[in-house]
Structure 1
Amino acid sequence: MSKPRSLDLPARTRAYRLRTPRQEFAVLDSRPDGQPRGTVLLVPGYTGSKEDFLALLDPLADAGYRAVAVDGRGQFESPGPRWPAGYTPRALGGDVLAQAAALGDGPVHLVGHSFGGFVARSAARLDPSAFRSLTLLASGPGRVAPEQRTKIRLLQAALPVLPASWVWSVTQWLDGRDPAFVPDPPEIVAFLGRRWFSTQPAQLIATGRQLRIEPDRTEGLAKLPLPLHVAYGDGEMVWSLSELAHMARSTGARHTVIRGADHSPNVSHPQELTAALTEFWAGVTAGSGAA
C-alpha cells in the first residue's frame, strides 16, 4: 500500500463528494491559481485511497493542472457494495468514466497507480474518448509477482472468516517483521487504521483476486487510441522491472524510471513524478494541437 507522509490538505485543495449518476465518490480536488492547462484524474491502488496522491496535488497545481484524486467504490470514504461481484473490472472502469464526466472539463489525463492502473485501463477500453492520455504508474501488464500473490491470497482467505481487527493486527505484525520497516508517525498509523476499517472487505477480496489472476494486457494496451505513459521507480517490487520495461517498449509508451523511488513515487518523489507527467502531457498537447 501507499502510505502518505503527511495528511495536511494543500491550501488549494478541497475535499468533497463528487456526484455521478452511478454514486457519489469522495475526492480531493486541487486547482491552480489561473486557468488550468488540463485536468488530471488520479486513481489509487489496492488498499489505497485518494490520500496516496496528497504529495502530488500541490506540484501539479503549481504546474497549472487541476488534479482530482478519488476513492473508488468501496474504498475508504466512498460507499460500495458488500459483495465481491460489485467490483468487476467493467464496473470499476465505468465508475472512472462517470467521475471524468462529472468533473465537467472534457477529456482528462488519467493516472492509475498500481491496481488503479488496472481500473484506468478498463475505463480507457470502455471509452477512450473520455481521456486525453493514460499513465500507468507502478502498474504492470498482468498479475503481480509471486510474493505479492501469496500475501494477497492470505488476505483473501482471512477476510471472510476473521474479524477485520484481527486481520489488520496480523498485517501490521507482518509489516513490522520486514527488515526495511520504519515505524510510521502516530497520526499516519491512525489514518491507515481508519482507511482499513472503512474499506469494504468485498472490495479487497474482489480486487485482490484480480491482482492475482489478471492476464498480460500488453497487446490490448498497444491497441488503445491514447497516448500512453509507463512510469515506475527503479526500486519497484510488486512487478518486475523487466516486465514493466517490456510493456513500455511493446506498447510504444513513453517510459519513465524514477531513480530512488519504489512502488509509490507519488509519495516519495512527487516533484520528479510531476516533472515526468507534465513533460508527457505537454507532448500530448503539442501533438494534438489541443489546449
Structure 2
Amino acid sequence: MSTPQFLTLPPGVFPVELSLPHGPVAALRALPTSGSSPELCPAVLVHGYTGSKEDFIALLQSLAQVGREVVAIDLPGTYRSPGFETLSPAPGSPRPDYRLPSLGMVVAEVCELVGDGRPVHLVGHSMGGLIARETVLSQSTEVHTLTLLCSGPGAIAGQAAAQVRMLIAALSAVDPSPDRMRELWEEHVAEGVRARITDPEIRDFLRDRTLSSSPEALLHTAEDLLGAPDRTAELAGSGVPVLVLYGENDDGWTTADQEEMADRLGAERIVVPGAGHSPNVEAPETTSSALTTFWNSRESVGQR
C-alpha cells in the first residue's frame, strides 16, 4: 500500500473532476506556479493497486514547475472516482469492467482530455504500469513516453502475490457490504497501519481511501495482478520510448525481473538508491528529477 507522507496540496496543485466519455474521474492537477501557460507536453500519472492520486503529491509541484501540466488520477472505483457499477453506460454500450483493457481505455480518455491534441508522458506505478501499458498498446491515443515505475512484465509473484491472494479470498468469501468492508479493514489491515504510521491524519486517509473504493474494483484488479500476461515484446514493438524506474529495495516485482524487462524493451533504466516499491513517496526529489530529465530528453529528440 503506497502511503503519502503528507496530504496538504502544494502551491499550484488543486483537485479537479475530469468529465470523460465513461463518466467522471477525480484528479489532482498541477500547473507551473509562475502563472505562465505550460509549454511542454503534459504528463498523466496512474497509481497502483490500493493506491490513489495522493501517492504522487510529493512529485506534482516539482514536475510542473519546469513548465508542464501534470495530472494524477484516481482510477474508476478508487477513492474519489465513482465505480463503473454506479454509472449508467451510454445506450447500447456495455458497462466497462475493471480488467486491465477497460482501465487502459479510461487512461486513454484521460490522456486525450489532458493532452488536448498533444501527446502525453504517461507514468504507471506498480499495477498502474500494467494499465498504462494497455493504453499504449491500444493505440487509441498518442503517448509521447511511458514510464514503468516499480512495475513488471506481467503477473506479480512472490510475497506480494501471496498478499493479493489473501485479499481476494477475503473479498470473495463475503458479501462486500460497507459494514463488512469495515470489518475486513479491522481484521486484515488496521493493525499493520497502526504499527507503521504514527500520523493519525494519514491513518484516517488510508482507511477512508480503502472503504471508499469499490469492492468489485479491488477484487477484479487483484485477479488481474495475478494473471496479467507478459506483453513486453508487444510494448517493445510499439515504438514508444520507455523508462524503467524502480527502487533498489523494491519488493513488488523483483529488481532482476525489472532489469530484464528493461533489456528486452531496449529501455532506459534508473534505480533509485535507498527506495523500495514507492520511490514517488520515499525519494520524490530523485524520482522527479529522473522523470523530468527523461521527458525533456525525449521532447528534445522530437523537436530535431
TM-score (norm 1): 0.94
**2:62 aligns to what?**
59
**1:193 aligns to what?**
207
Against the structure 1 CA distance between its residues 194 and 124, is the aligned structure 2 distance closer, same or farther, given a 3 Å change threshold?
same
Superposition deviation, residue 134 in structure 1: 0.4
Superposition deviation, residue 133 in structure 1: 0.5
Cα distance in 2 for residues equivalent to 1:47 and 1:150: 15
Gaps of 5+ in 2: 87-94
Superposition deviation, residue 85 in structure 1: 7.0
**2:49 aligns to what?**
46
3-state SS, counterpart of residue 94 of structure 1: helix
Tell me if the contact between 1:233 and 1:257 (Cα under 8 Å) persists in the aligned partners.
yes
Superposition deviation, residue 288 in structure 1: 1.1
Kindly provide the amino acid, as one letter, of the partner of residue 216 in structure 1: D
**1:87 aligns to what?**
98
Superposition deviation, residue 283 in structure 1: 1.4
Tell me if the contact between 2:98 and 2:221 (Cα under 8 Å) persists in the aligned partners.
yes
Cα distance in 2 for residues equivalent to 1:183 and 1:234: 22
Cα distance in 1 for residues equivalent to 2:130 and 2:157: 15
1:171 to 188, 197, 213: 188
Q: Confirm or deny that 1:135 pairs with 2:147.
A: yes
3-state SS, counterpart of residue 51 of structure 2: coil
Superposition deviation, residue 217 in structure 1: 2.1
Tell me if the contact between 1:82 and 1:201 (Cα under 8 Å) persists in the aligned partners.
no
**1:263 aligns to what?**
277
Cα distance in 2 for residues equivalent to 1:288 and 1:200: 40
**1:27 aligns to what?**
27
3-state SS, counterpart of residue 86 of structure 1: coil
Against the structure 1 CA distance between its residues 176 and 191, is the aligned structure 2 distance closer, same or farther, given a 3 Å change threshold?
closer
**2:90 aligns to what?**
none
Cα distance in 2 for residues equivalent to 1:253 and 1:105: 26
Tell me if the contact between 2:111 and 2:141 (Cα under 8 Å) persists in the aligned partners.
no
Tell me if the contact between 1:61 and 1:67 (Cα under 8 Å) persists in the aligned partners.
yes
Kindly provide the amino acid, as one letter, of the partner of residue 231 in structure 2: R
Tell me if the contact between 1:81 and 1:202 (Cα under 8 Å) persists in the aligned partners.
no
Superposition deviation, residue 207 in structure 1: 0.5
Q: After TM superposition, list the pairs within 5 Å mapping 1:57-136 onto structure 2.
A: 57-82=60-85, 86-103=97-114, 104=116, 106-127=118-139, 129-136=141-148
Against the structure 1 CA distance between its residues 67 and 176, is the aligned structure 2 distance closer, same or farther, given a 3 Å change threshold?
closer
**2:13 aligns to what?**
13
Superposition deviation, residue 173 in structure 1: 5.0
3-state SS, counterpart of residue 77 of structure 1: coil
Tell me the alpha carbon deviations over residues 150-196 of structure 1, each in whole angstroms, 9 at most, x when there is no partner: 1111111111306111211123256369xxx5323000000001100
How many residues matched? 287
Superposition deviation, residue 105 in structure 1: 5.2
Cα distance in 2 for residues equivalent to 1:7 and 1:221: 34
Tell me the alpha carbon deviations over residues 104-163 of structure 1, each in whole angstroms, 9 at most, x when there is no partner: 252110000000001100011111652111000000111112211111111111113061
Kindly provide the amino acid, as one letter, of the partner of residue 164 in structure 1: M
Kindly provide the amino acid, as one letter, of the partner of residue 213 in structure 1: G
Identity within the alignment, %: 38
Kindly provide the amino acid, as one letter, of the partner of residue 165 in structure 1: R
Gaps of 5+ in 1: none
Superposition deviation, residue 210 in structure 1: 0.8
Q: Confirm or deny that 1:158 pairs with 2:170.
A: yes
Kindly provide the amino acid, as one letter, of the partner of residue 170 in structure 2: A
Kindly provide the amino acid, as one letter, of the partner of residue 295 in structure 2: W
Structure 1 stretch displaced more, 166-175 or 275-284 = 166-175
Against the structure 1 CA distance between its residues 57 and 277, is the aligned structure 2 distance closer, same or farther, given a 3 Å change threshold?
same
TM-score (norm 2): 0.90
Superposition deviation, residue 281 in structure 1: 0.9
Structure 1 stretch displaced more, 77-86 or 210-219 = 77-86
3-state SS, counterpart of residue 301 of structure 2: helix
